[in-house]
């Protein structure tokens, strides 16, 4: 698809909200959106401290993600996408109507340094070594940007894979573990670092059951979600299909996506109620640390403390050991169904302050 002219102003919002960016641009009459990630957000330590020297984004990397708004199958809003379900026409679905293309921040500089119009407000000035202008249009009347988007718009079937170890005492109460099956690229980190953990967990549980006759008190449900990268399609549709049973019977959900981040240690997020449990477990579980002498055995907690997270969004949580908040992730399926008592918003706020307390406690 080709659009003739880059004649819309620059749009900017918080990094994850690309769907909102595109929708807003569409509503304001944009013909297309060219997206990039600010190095201020994704390479805050400067151009010399990016991949492969760190986990920060290099200048040539193009980000990826979905620009769809809202969770789940866009053709079955508010009800499960089972085979017999009615599908609304695609034109009525919550999908962007304009093309969107991501580019690297190196390439973005080429466009931004040629933008015309007024100088952007100070808060919009990034660190791409040019003065930002808001447009509309480029500085020279003869200049234009062509946007070629080579996506194939297809509808396809995706599957969830669900396995159950039936509970011994409370078989109708569920402890659910889940991770997604799809990935944008090779998925080394997202989701496959979690996939490795999830597969090992299910192997150990099945081995335990087969060898010793052990059964969990409640049923363990292992879920592999389809099409999560397109706004949690598989998990959303599953929770819509089983909303009643899950509301009554689900005890907890453990999302096993992305077990690691750039600092090679376990990555955890939890509601405040579980933070003590996570830290207590981290003291008990030993690991062989990859970059340490081969025979060294550390508690997971030691590794937390040795390797503070360095990504910008968690750097305020120093020293190192921190537990994020699952409510902050729109990818946690059914979080709103399974959050007992307090509203999700309250939990997230509480979790944020709890993190500081935990960090304090650990260093005392
Ligand atoms: Zn993921």
**Over the stretch 224-241, which tens digit does the pLDDT of each residue have?**
999 999 989 999 999 999
pLDDT score for 309: 53
Strand partners, 100: 33
Q: Is the pLDDT score of 364 beyond 50?
A: no
Q: How far is the CA of 160 from the centre of ligand 1 (A)?
A: 15
pLDDT > 90: what percent of the chain?
A: 42
pLDDT > 70: what percent of the chain?
A: 76
pLDDT score for 295: 62
Q: What are the pLDDT digits (tens) for 120-175? A: 998 888 778 888 898 888 999 899 888 888 888 889 999 999 999 999 999 999 99
CB 175 within 8 A of CB 251: yes
Q: How far is the CA of 42 from the centre of ligand 1 (A)?
A: 18
The total number of residues written for the chain in this structure = 364
CA triplet 109, 115, 121: central angle to 5 degrees?
90
Q: How far is the CA of 239 from the centre of ligand 1 (A)?
A: 18
Q: Classify residue 347 by burial, with Cβ atoms within 10 Å: 0-12, 13-18, 19+.
A: buried
Q: Is the pLDDT score of 274 beyond 50?
A: yes
pLDDT score for 15: 47
Q: Is the pLDDT score of 303 beyond 90?
A: no
pLDDT score for 308: 60
Phi, psi of 223 (to 5 degrees): -120, 130
Q: How far is the CA of 89 from the centre of ligand 1 (A)?
A: 29
Phi, psi of 18 (to 5 degrees): -65, -35
Question: Where do the H-state alpha helices sit in the chain?
Answer: 18-27, 39-42, 105-112, 192-212, 233-241, 243-249, 272-284, 300-306, 335-338, 344-363
Q: Beta-carbon neighbour count of residue 95 at 10 Å?
A: 16
Distances (CA, A) of 308 to 27, 340, 362: 42, 32, 13
Q: How far is the CA of 182 from the centre of ligand 1 (A)?
A: 8
The 3-state DSSP class for residue 60 equals coil
Q: Say which DSSP state 62 is in.
A: P
**Which of 10, 228, 237, 261 is flagged as catalytic?**
228
User: Is 228 in the active site?
Assistant: yes
Residue 93's nearest CA partner among 238, 233, 229, 242 is 233
pLDDT score for 81: 95
Residues near ligand 1 ion, CB 5 Å cutoff: 190-191, 257
Q: What are the pLDDT digits (tens) for 73-103? A: 999 999 999 999 999 999 999 899 999 999 9
CB 156 within 8 A of CB 107: no
Q: How far is the CA of 125 from the centre of ligand 1 (A)?
A: 31
Phi, psi of 351 (to 5 degrees): -65, -35
Q: How far is the CA of 25 from the centre of ligand 1 (A)?
A: 27
């Amino acid at each position: 698809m080709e659009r003739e002219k880059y004649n819309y102003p620059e749009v900017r919002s918080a990094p994850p909200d690309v769907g909102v960016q595109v929708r807003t641009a569409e509503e304001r009459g944009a013909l297309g959106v060219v997206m990039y990630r600010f190095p201020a957000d994704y390479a805050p330590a400067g151009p010399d401290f990016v991949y492969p020297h760190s986990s920060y984004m290099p200048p040539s990397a193009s980000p990826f993600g979905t620009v769809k708004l809202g969770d789940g199958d866009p053709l079955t809003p508010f009800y499960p996408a089972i085979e017999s379900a009615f599908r609304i026409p695609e034109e009525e679905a919550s999908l962007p109507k304009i093309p969107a293309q991501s580019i690297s921040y190196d390439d973005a500089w080429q466009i931004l340094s040629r933008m015309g119009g007024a100088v952007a407000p100070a808060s919009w000035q990034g660190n791409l070594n040019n003065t930002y202008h808001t447009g509309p249009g480029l500085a020279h009347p003869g200049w234009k940007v062509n946007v070629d988007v080579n996506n194939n718009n297809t509808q396809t079937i995706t599957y969830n894979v669900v396995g159950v170890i039936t509970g011994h005492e409370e078989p109708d109460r569920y402890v659910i573990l889940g991770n997604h099956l799809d990935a944008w690229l090779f998925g080394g980190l997202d989701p496959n670092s979690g996939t490795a953990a999830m597969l090992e967990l299910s192997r150990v549980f099945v081995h335990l059951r087969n060898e010793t006759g052990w059964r969990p008190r409640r049923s363990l449900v292992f879920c592999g979600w389809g099409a999560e990268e397109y706004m949690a399609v598989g998990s959303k549709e599953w929770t819509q299909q089983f909303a009643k049973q899950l509301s009554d019977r689900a005890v907890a959900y453990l999302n096993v996506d992305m077990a690691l981040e750039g600092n090679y240690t376990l990555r955890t997020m939890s509601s405040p109620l579980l933070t003590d449990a996570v830290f207590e477990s981290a003291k008990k579980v030993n690991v062989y640390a990859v970059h340490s002498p081969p025979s060294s055995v550390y508690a997971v907690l030691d590794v937390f403390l040795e390797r503070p997270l360095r990504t910008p969004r968690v750097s305020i949580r120093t020293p190192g050991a921190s537990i994020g908040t699952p409510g902050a992730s729109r990818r946690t399926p059914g979080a709103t169904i399974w959050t007992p008592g307090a509203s999700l918003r309250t939990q997230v706020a509480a979790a944020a302050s709890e993190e500081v307390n935990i960090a304090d406690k650990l260093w005392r």
